[in-house]
Every structure is written in structure tokens, then in C-alpha cells.
Amino acid sequence: MTNEDLKIDAVTFVHKKAEDMLAISGITENTNLIEAGLSSIMIMQISNHLRKYGLKIPFSGLIEKPTLGEWAQMIHSSGVSQGRKQQVTAKITENSEFDLTDVQYAYFVGRDDEQPLGGVGCHAYLEIDGERGDGERLKKAWNTILDYHPMLRAKFLETGKQIIMPTPYSREMGVYDFSRLPKNAAEKELLALREELSHRKLKVEKGEVAGLSLALLPCEKTRMFLDVDLLVADVSSLGILLQHLAEAYTGKEFIRQSTYTFQDYMENRKNEISDREFNEDRKFWENKISGLNCEIPGIPLAKKPELISETRFSRRQCIIDKEAWSEIRRVASGYKATPSMCLLTCYALILERWCNQASFLINIPLFNRDTENEEIRNMVADFTNLLLLDFHRKGNEAFIDTLHRVRGTFLENVAHSHYSGVNVQRDIFKTMGSAGFVAPVVFACNIDSPLETGLSREVFGDISYMVSQTPQVWLDFQTYVRDGALILCWDAVDELFPEGMLEDMFNALVDLVKKLAAADNWNAVFDVLPQRQLEQRKAELDGILPVSYPRKSLITDFLKNAQSKPGNVAVIDGISKKEISYGHLYSKAMAIAGLLVKAGIKQGDYIGITLPRGCGQIYAMLGILFSGGVYVPIGVNQPEDRRKKILRQTGINYIVSDTGTIRDCSLYGEEIRIINLDEAEERISLEKPVPVSPESSAYVIMTSGSTGVPKGVEISHGSAVNTIEDINRRYGITSEDTVLMVSAIDFDLSVYDVFGMLSCGGRLVVLDEAGSREPALWLSLMEQYSISIWNSVPMLFDMLVTMAEGKGRKLNIRVAMLSGDWIALDLPSRFYNRSENSVVAAMGGATEASVWSNYLIVPREIPSAWVSIPYGNPLGNQIYRVMDDLGRICPEYVQGELRIGGAGVAKGYRGDEELTREKFITDTIRWYKTGDAGRIWKDGTIEFLGRKDNQVKIKGYRIEIGEIESALKKNPRIADAVVCVVKRAGGSRLAAYVVLKEKMEPGGEALKSALEKLLPGYMIPETYYFSGRIPLLENGKPDKREIQRLLNEHTDTETYVPPQNPLEIQIGEIWKEVLNRERLSRFDNFFTLGGDSLKAVAIVTRIEAIFDDPVNISVRILFKAPTIHAFALEIDKLNSDFEVEAI
């Protein structure tokens, strides 16, 4: 036959096949076959069969131009492969072993109990409700089918091979007689059976790959239970199995006319794909991977997959009625889109909304069964291939445009599917340097593969329940059609996810699919945020509208107290013990105000304060406010260059200082006027403070800027007073309270210390510079002055609690307010153990939102689910929003940027209009974009997740550094810890700076072992630096730059180090053989060397063979410890015959 004759035959085949599939005749050359009803899987079958003519017409080409005329043109213009081979039954030794497919191998490895989310088979479970079932007859039919389908007699070997046995694992069928039980009792028994069978792990290594049971129920009802390991069956196979079982039950004889089996198919398959095609597709995926941000979908998790001990799936299901589904298909065909692409797009939009990341991968099973081959068409086996689809987020895009993009990506990727998704994931693991999860979300579209047939429903009844499970999958979206209606199913590991979140996601998917029944909706931009959440976020905003500010200034209530109780103590110098009354404080401040006004200061001028810690700072703050000015703290330790930047940025012409500071800081040379505090006299004081409005600025506090230019946060009186009044009211703070002021005035916690206390008539105890870092002094002052309020960063409070513990002293603090950094999970309980009738208030917010914007009373017992202490709830007249990168409200539990709105929001950055416009926005209210990452729980609790720009990615995973630090601090031997990312050869690594509680021999391996019980392997630091203390900044926060420097210096560069002991040497030799390497370092990474699951099994099998006594080495041990050195250490824990060096 000439090539031209062959092409004519191919055109004839395509024409007839299209008519057969659509069950219509008279299709014209211009008929749009998709509009006529041709589905993706039908077109894929046609593309696959054309290969048998030697024609490589890609599926993507057929679906892009879906008419017979255009298909004929493609066929006639295509070249014909001369190397095509006819399918034959391979000469195979009976009962011989043969390879697994890529997909089978992934399923098989996932069965390992040590695999994350493993320990389960890829398993389908169905219940079918019928009437008047005959148990003996059903058993006979079942055995007929077991004999007829070879893969139902398959056995899977530890070597990664499979073999077809001559007889099935078992010919038994369970029959349960519940017919005489009351209805409720029968239901209870049925649920117990479901619990037993639905998630069982069949013994495939012994040949148990399927099971059938029958329950006899009252009123002659029956329920049939069928479960199959999907190592031997794809979705089409389930339908075939049910059809054949029904036929055998009704008396049809099944006699195998051919010896052709799945083993023959596998042999023939090797000849179908040329090396050139395989390599071209591999190159395509290599290029795609290099351009992808290989990040697992960031769906919020309640628990790390590695920490789930028993993988269990549950199903969510909804039916889209026949009319709506018919309309969706009709509209889709008008857009030349297949229904499966519409459903995939819906799924991608839901995942995107709950991921909040630029791109991610979806796993798509492709069913490559050759239905033109009579031997294969009705064979029970797994013909599945996996395809990865990369979805890329795009803002404000109409649904139809997203659909076209998804369709284009799918067609491009499926055209290169000879290199399977399993191989692609292995390649990604190599770039990550670890095994794990790349695409744990699955889209399985089965709308063209009915599970039930007319006969199976007539004989056995309808499927009433179904659930599937797949190892290492988080979420599996499956679709089926029954009686013209669309069935949407989600099978998911519920334990992975926050409570209620999957319901929200699934309901959002259902709502989106239903919207597609209206043709005009396809050009709309859909926001899939659930209506309940939209209403809840709106109610939160409505709750503070209209935003109201206290009609006061920061000094209003102080003035009242100075007038009504002038003799009461206001300020105590903790060093000199000098006590200053409200009356004296008022007089001193008025004298300074008079000096300022005399110097020419006008209302609203910005005035710097450069003074040492102590009472003088309080005088200056009040004096500036009395004069109508705005105070700007500039620390005495500020470098001269930075001080000049602050002066320029803020527009300061005056600085309040004292004689000693003017001399020590060389303030004489500044182009500003120096106001000497020591020259203030009562005779030049003002008669009364200069009046200011609540909208007037009260202070500017400088924060560090990423460009090196300080940012001056400008806060109004009304905003600051809003926070102070809320705190005093919330915690019942009165004139009976005293605070120890450990924060410097250029740190905004000082705003509350000073004005919070003075506004309620309370007292504040001030310190000098040395005293601000001396916990022994704090402890003494607490007892001496009955200090009841504490306000600091957590580190300083930890120093106080540690000192109290060491001295065996009580802490009679009534309210401890902690903010500005992570609070160690054990710190509140340590304090509670040394106090009575106390509360720890976890506070949070930003300098740009008037000190604090949220609060949480920390419980005495921290919930086990907390990985850190959350922010809690907004303060009065304030609100939080969690926004994604496209400016949309994030769904509950989804990480985004925290925005603060309401009465506390700053006026902006003094002297930087551009940055103010960038960070402060106004819609209904004014908002500040914090740059912090966070999320909101279903109950409204706000959780802080660190700085957005500090989010790190290690081995493909987004890492929360705070969670690792929290896990380290749970170790009773560790006093404190800071984790950083260090750069090493081969990529980024985690390193921990650790402070031990007691003198002991430090050892990183011991800490790693402890962390393994709390964290997955990719979150465990590789390097540990032990020290006696955490370096601190002046505000009491850890000095992250210094810690990072020390860790970088401590981290050795990776060099070649050969295996060091007998076990390492033996492991190294095995690795060389399996990985085909000539030289290996004991620190080389298994995955970056090209290791994968298949090679891991080979390595584990060979290593087990070197021991005289049996040693159970699982693949997961290698995945967890992927270097020769680490692997040897893990094996040594199992077998003490070798001594392994620990470093």
C-alpha cells in the first residue's frame, strides 16, 4: 500500500469513527465536531489510532481545528513513519515478571507506610443498592470474571515488577445476612462494613487486587460492595468489570479467545514511541520546568502531610441537573471548548483562589486506552498516563479568556505527553533535592467513561456510595455523568485541612459550575469567594463605620489629672529613686513649652528629642506637645549620618537636648536650633498649652527603610488616643497601676507607657540606658514600686521571667502586654507559673497604625494546634483585611498581606509622598498595607505569619521560619533559637542559632532527631550554631543581621568528603552502581544526583541484603536522609553492628 492509499484509508477511518462516536450520519466536512458532541477523550482516541497508520497528528492539532475537512488536510499533509509496527502478541514466558508502568510504579511506592500520605493503595470502593440478590450466583459470576481478566490475578513484587498468576488470590466472596435485623441495626452494620472495606489496603504483593461482598437486607434489599486496587484498573476498567459481572450473572459464558494480556500491551508499547519522540518531549518538559516556579499548591493546611499517621479520604458530592449540564455543554461548544476543559478551568480558579500564588501544577490522569483494538477495548487494566498542567494566575480576566488559556496550555502539554507526568515530577524532585509533593491536586474527568451500564443497573442496582483514595494525593476532583446529569466529586484527606475549608472550596466550585449554565456569564470575571465570607467581611467593616476618633489630644487627660490630683506621683526615676508628681511634671513641661515658643516654634512644627533615657525625655515629650509641636525621637546612639537623614526627611529645625548630650553628640554643628532642656525655667512657661485638634500630628517615629532612608511615621493625636483609650478600657488600667518603661522613646511602645499611664492617673518608672537591659534591677523595682503593667517585646519579658525563675521570685504583674516579635509558645505559661490573677496580652499591629491594632488574651494552656500565638482580634475602631497579590480579599485560612484600616492608621510617611501613596490607600476607609503575611481563621482570629519579604522557599516548599523556631523552643534543653536561610553550594539551606539552657555537649544530630517528631524533613535545619545568648538590637528584638552573619561564617562550604566508615563505604558503592556515578561525597544529595522512587527501591533492597540479620529499611528513610552520611546514621539506629561517626 502506497503512502497516499494509506492516507485515504486514514481519512475514511476518521470519518466513520466520528459518525460512530456521535451516533449520527451525514456529517459534513465543515461540521464543528466539538459542537456536535465530540469530547476530548474521543479526539484523543482518534489521534492515538492515527499513529497506527504511521501518521503523527497531534491531539492538540485535531482539537484546534475540529472539522473533518481540516482533519483530512492534516492527514494528507503529514509524513508517514516508515518504522511503524503491527501489534503482535509478544513471545512472553508464561508467569514471567514484567515492568510496571510509570503510574503503577508511583502508586506502588506510595503504598509504603513510611511515605508521607502513603500507607494506602490507590483504591476505588463502590456500594451498589439492589433487590433480591443471589449470593451463590454472584460468587460464581465473580469467579468467572477473575478467571477471564488476567490483571485481576496480578501480583506485585518488591522489586518493582508484576506477574500474572494462573489462579486468583481468593475465590471467596463475603455474604452478610442482615435481613432479619431492625432497620437501625442493619444500618449500623452496613456502616461498620463501609468503615472496614472502604479504605483497606489490599495485599497486592500476594495477588489480592479486588474484592466483592454482598449484604442481604430487610425487605429483600441488597447492597453489593466492590473494591479494586487501581494498580490493575483504570476508570474505564471499573465500568467494564461491572458490565462483565452483570453479563456473567445473567448467564453469559466468558471464554478467552486470545492469550493477549496487559503484559503484551506493555511490550508492544515500547515499540510505539520512538526515541526521538521521547527525547523531544523530555526536552520540552526540561525547558518548561526551568521556567516554572516549582512550588506545591499553597492550599492552607491544618497539619503537615508528613505528620499524618493514617491517610483517610472522604467524599463530597453534588449533582448538576441534566438541564443545567446540557446548557453548559451547549454554551461550551459554541466557544469551541470541550466540557472537560470548562470543568478543569473551574477547578483551577478555585485552587488559585485558595493558593494565592502565581502558578501551580495540576495532576491530570489521561486514559490512553486504544478502543480500536479489540483486545484492549474491554481489558481490565490501568492504561493511565499522567499529565501535569501548569496554571498561571492572571488578574481581572473573564472566564472565557481563562478557559482559552487553560485549553492552550493543556493542548501544548498533552502534545508532549510521551514523557509522562511521573517522569516530570521525578525531574522536579532532582531540582528540589528532595522527594515530596509537586502536584498533589488531581483532576480526573470521567464524563466519557460511565461507571454504570444499563445492564449493570438493571441487574445489581444503582451506585449509592463511592470513595477513592490515592497515595500522596491531597485532593482529587472527579466528574461522572449519570442519566444526563453531571456528578461532581471531591475525595480529600480531611485531616490535612482546616475544619470547614473544603466545604467552602467545594461549594464555591459548585456555584461556579452552575453559573456557567447562563451563556452571558462566560464573559464575566468571577470572584469565587464564598458568599458567607463576603458577608462576614462586609459586616466587620460596617461595624466600625463611620470611623470615629476620640475628640482629644494625647495630653487632654493628663491635664485633667495634673489639675485634679497634682500631688499624685506621675514618674519615678528607677535609678535615682526620685519621684515626680503630676503637678511638677506639668510645670516642668510648661517651662519647656515656653522655651520652645520663645525660640519661635509654631503649632505643627516638628521638633527632635535627643536625650538619654530618663525623666528628661518625658519632660521634653510633654513640653513639645504643650507648645503645639510634633515630637520626633532621635536616639543619642544614632550615627551622625543617619541623624542628618532624619532631620532632612522630617524637616526638623529644632532639637530638644541637654548640656551633656549636646557635648557628647556634637550637636553644635547641626544646621538646626538646639533647645537646651537645662535652660528651661518656670518664669518663661506658657500660661496654658497651645490648643491642637485631634487631627493634628502628635509624633513622628522613625522606622528603618529598605532604601537606607529612614521612614518617619506620622501619627495624629486622635489615632494615638484611640489605641490608648481602648487598651485602658479593655484591661481596666487605672490610677492604681504602674508600668516599668523598658522601651526607648524612639520605639512606639513608649507612646503607651507614657501617655497610657498619664492619661489614667497611673505611674511610670523610667530607667537609664544600663538599667534598660538589667533584669535583676527590673525585678527589684517591681517589688519596690508594685509594678502591675508590663509592656515590651517578648525577648525582654523572657529575660525578666528567666531572672524570676532563677531567683525563685513571684511576678505580681497584672497585665503583661507583649508585641513587636514572635512570642515563644512556652513564655506565657512560664509567667503564669510565677504569677496569680494575671493575663498575658499578645498585641500586634504596626507603628503605622498607632502602636497596636489587635489583641489576644493568651490562655494558660496553649492549644496543641497552635504553631505560634496568633494576633487575635482587632482593637476598637480598627479592622484587618487579608488581601492577595491581586488586591482581592483572601478566603479564610489563605495567606495574604495584612492590611490595617480604621482610626489608628497613620497620616503617612513624613517627607515621602511617593511611599505614602504606595503604602496607604483609601476606599471606604483608609488602609495601611503592612507588608506582613497573615491569614484569618473561620472564627475571625487573625494569624500573623511573618514579613512577606522574609518568606522563604526551601526545596520547593514555602517555609514559615517562625514555625521552625517554635518547634526548636519546645525542646526542654533549648532556651532560645533563631532560624535563618544560608546560601550554600547547591542552593539555600536552613541554619539554626541556638541558645541552650544549661551547659552541655551541643549536638545538631540530637536536635534533628527531636525535630523529626514535629516537622517534615524539609523544615529541619541542617546547620546548628550554639551560643550563650541571642544578640539584641536596642529595642530588644533579636539582631537578625548579626545572627545571619554568624551562621554564614559558621556554615562550611560543601567540598568533596569521601565516605568515612564501613557502612558509609558500602552504601556509597551501592549508590555508585544504581546512580551510575564514579565518585560520591558523603554529603551528596540523592535527588540532585538523579535519584527517584525507582532507584530508591533498588538501593534499599541491595542495602538490606548486606546485613546477616533482617533489617527493615524503608524508602522513606532514604527520602528523609538523602545523603550517604545521613542515611548511614538512620540505618545505624536500626542496626548497631556498625559504628557511625556523628557530627
Q: How large is the average pLDDT for residues 728-751?
A: 96
Q: What is the mean pLDDT of residues 923-952?
A: 90
Instruction: Between 1000 and 754, name the one with better pLDDT.
Output: 754
Could you tell me the residue ranges of all domains in the chain?
3-77, 98-264, 274-532, 952-1052, 1062-1134
The answer to whether the CB of 868 falls within 8 A of the CB of 946 is no
Least confident window among 578-592, 985-999, 1120-1134: 985-999
In the prediction, which pLDDT does 748 show?
Answer: 94
Q: 903 CB contacts (<8 Å, ≥6 apart)? A: 544, 547, 548, 549, 718, 719, 722, 850, 877, 878
What CATH class is the domain 3-77?
Answer: mainly alpha
**pLDDT, tens digit (0-9, with 9 covering 90-100), for 903-924:** 999 999 999 999 999 999 999 9
Reported confidence tier of residue 87, pLDDT bands at 50, 70, 90: very low
What band does 34 get if pLDDT is binned at 50, 70 and 90? Answer: confident
Mean of pLDDT values over 287-313: 84
Find where cell 475514511 sits: 12
**Residue 603 confidence (pLDDT):** 95
Question: In the predicted model, is pLDDT for residue 37 greater than 80?
Answer: no
**pLDDT given for residue 84 in this prediction:** 46
Which pLDDT does position 837 carry in this prediction?
A: 92
Query: β-strands 839-844, 654-657: how paired?
Result: unpaired
Q: What is the structure's pLDDT at 16?
A: 80
What DSSP string describes 43-83? HHHHHHHHGGGTB---HHHHHHS-SHHHHHHHHHHS-B-TT
Which 3 state secondary structure label does DSSP give 1023?
strand
Instruction: Quote the pTM value.
Output: 0.83
852 or 431, higher pLDDT: 852
- pLDDT surpasses 90 at 671: no
Residues 390-436: pLDDT tens digits? Answer: 999 999 999 999 999 999 999 999 888 889 999 898 888 777 666 66
Confidence of residue 1039 (pLDDT cuts 50, 70, 90): confident
Q: How many helices (H) and strands (E) does the chain have?
A: 38, 40
The CA radius of gyration of the chain, in Å to the nearest whole number, is: 36
**114, 339, 343, 523, 641 from 399: Cα distances, Å:** 42, 14, 12, 6, 54
Q: How far is CA 1112 from the centre of its chain?
A: 33
Residue 485: exposed, middle, or buried by beta-carbon count in 10 A (0-12, 13-18, 19+)?
middle
Res 1002 pLDDT > 60: no
Query: Which of the 8 DSSP states describes residue 755?
Result: I
Residue % of the chain over a pLDDT of 70:
92
- Among the ranges given (7-21, 455-469, 843-857, 989-1003), the one the predictor scored with the smallest mean pLDDT: 989-1003
Q: pLDDT tens digits for 640-661?
A: 878 888 898 899 999 999 999 9
- Range 952-1052: architecture per CATH: 2-Layer Sandwich (3.30)
- Superfamily in which the 1062-1134 domain is placed by CATH: ACP-like (1.10.1200.10)
Q: Which of 148-162, 334-348, 845-859, 986-1000 has the lowest mean pLDDT?
A: 986-1000
Q: How far apart are CA 688 and CA 672, in angstroms?
A: 26
pLDDT of residue 1051: 62
Strands 952-954, 815-818: pairing is unpaired
The architecture that CATH gives domain 274-532 is 2-Layer Sandwich (3.30)
- Is the model more confident about 965 or about 571? 571
pLDDT grade for 955, boundaries at 50, 70 and 90: low
Residue 833 has pLDDT above 50, yes or no: yes
Write the DSSP assignment of 711-747 as a string of letters: EEEEEEHHHHHHHHHHHHHHTT--TT-EEE--S-TTS
Provide the CA 575 distance to its chain's centre, in angstroms: 50
pLDDT in tens, 1091-1125: 776 677 778 778 877 776 666 776 667 777 788 88
Distance CA 844, CA 817 (A): 10
Average pLDDT, the chain: 88
Give the strands of the sheet with 359-367, arranged side by side. Answer: 313-320, 485-493, 475-482, 441-445, 359-367, 384-392
Query: What is the per-residue pLDDT for 252?
Result: 94
Return d(Cα 684, Cα 829) in angstroms, integer: 53
The predicted pLDDT at position 1116 comes to: 67
Please indicate whether residue 680 or residue 179 has the higher confidence score (pLDDT). Answer: 179
Question: Residue with C-alpha cell 490515592?
Answer: 470
Instruction: Give 98-264's CATH code, choosing from 3.30.70.1560, 3.40.630.30, 3.30.365.10, 3.30.559.10.
Output: 3.30.559.10
| CA pair distance 897, 888, nearest whole angstrom | 10
In the structure grid, which three cell numbers stand for residue 590, read together?
Answer: 510648661
pLDDT at 531: 93
Q: Are strands 384-392 and 359-367 parallel, antiparallel or unpaired?
A: antiparallel
DSSP 861: S
Q: Choose the most confident range, by mean pLDDT, from 97-101, 639-643, 680-684.
A: 97-101
| Mean pLDDT of all residues in 934-962 | 80
- Residue 50 has what pLDDT? 79
Per-residue model confidence (pLDDT) at position 1143: 28
Residue 309: what pLDDT?
Answer: 86
Confidence check: pLDDT of 752 > 80? yes
Q: Choose from 118-127, 859-868, 882-891 the range with maximum mean pLDDT.
A: 882-891
pLDDT by residue (tens digit) across 343-367? 999 999 999 999 988 899 999 998 8
Range list of H helices, 731-812: 749-751, 757-760, 775-785, 794-807
Cα–Cα distance, 152 to 209 (Å, whole number) = 6
Q: How far apart are CA 1112 and CA 1135, in angstroms?
A: 10
Say whether 1009 sits in a helix, a strand or coil.
helix
643 phi, psi to nearest 5 deg: -60, -40
Residue 926: pLDDT band (50, 70, 90) is very high
Q: Output the pLDDT for position 294.
A: 60
pLDDT digits (tens, 9 = 90+) for 478-523: 999 999 999 999 999 999 999 999 999 999 999 999 999 987 889 9
Does 3-77 match 1062-1134 in CATH topology?
yes
**pLDDT value at position 1142?**
30
Beta bridge partners of 211: 227
CA distance 475 to 536: 27
CA atoms within 13 A on the CB side of 390: 16
Q: 24: how many CB neighbours lie within 10 A of its CB?
A: 12
Say whether pLDDT at 708 is over 60: no
The whole-number average pLDDT for the span 570-589 is 97
